[in-house]
């Protein structure tokens, strides 16, 4: 799995129109915190008990169809690494992890989006 900063991920997506951007966060995070424009929501863990989505691999394979590049992101970059490793073990070859995720790392006041991440970099996003 290759790792890209948010800016590199954005540039990669712009240069590779067949690539897909997959939000592996929960549905609540996707809806209420926001998400990059064009992101597809396929939660890695979700629900009341934060269970791993048993259909995750199948859903990503369906979205990626003919082995399109898959760029994964989460809040800060850890869940997407775990999800990416599972995808690679399932045979996907073009898997990328977005470092720092959508909200980025915590600062010394325990706040996000002030150190790094997609939103910090000023990349296009929506809140629905």
Residues 62-88 pLDDT 10s: 999 878 999 999 998 889 999 999 999
**Could you tell me the pLDDT band of residue 114, with boundaries at 50, 70 and 90?**
confident
**Could you tell me the pLDDT band of residue 50, with boundaries at 50, 70 and 90?**
confident
Torsion of CA 10, 94, 82, 36, to 10 degrees: 20
Q: 102 with 74: CB under 8 angstroms?
A: yes
**Residue 58 pLDDT more than 90?**
yes
Q: In what helix (H) or strand (E) does residue 40 lie, and over which residues does it extend?
A: strand 40-41
Q: In what helix (H) or strand (E) does residue 30 lie, and over which residues does it extend?
A: helix 27-32
- Please state the domain extents for the chain: 2-126
SS3 track for 26-58: CHHHHHHCCEECCCEECCCEECCCCEECCCHHH
Predicted TM-score (pTM) of the model is 0.94
Can you identify the CATH homologous superfamily of domain 2-126?
Rhodanese-like domain (3.40.250.10)
Query: What pLDDT does 49 receive?
Result: 86
């Amino acid at each position: 799995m290759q790792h890209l900063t948010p800016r590199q991920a954005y540039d990669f997506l712009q240069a590779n129109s067949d690539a897909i951007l997959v939000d592996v966060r929960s549905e609540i995070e996707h809806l209420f915190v926001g998400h990059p424009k064009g992101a597809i929501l396929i939660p890695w863990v979700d629900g009341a008990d934060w269970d791993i989505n048993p259909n995750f691999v199948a859903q990503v394979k369906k979205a990626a169809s003919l082995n399109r590049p898959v760029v994964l992101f989460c809040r800060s970059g850890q869940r997407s690494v775990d999800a990416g490793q599972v995808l690679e073990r399932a045979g996907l070859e073009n898997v990328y992890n977005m470092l720092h995720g959508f909200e980025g790392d915590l600062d010394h006041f325990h706040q996000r989006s002030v150190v790094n991440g997609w939103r910090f970099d000023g990349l296009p996003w929506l809140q629905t």
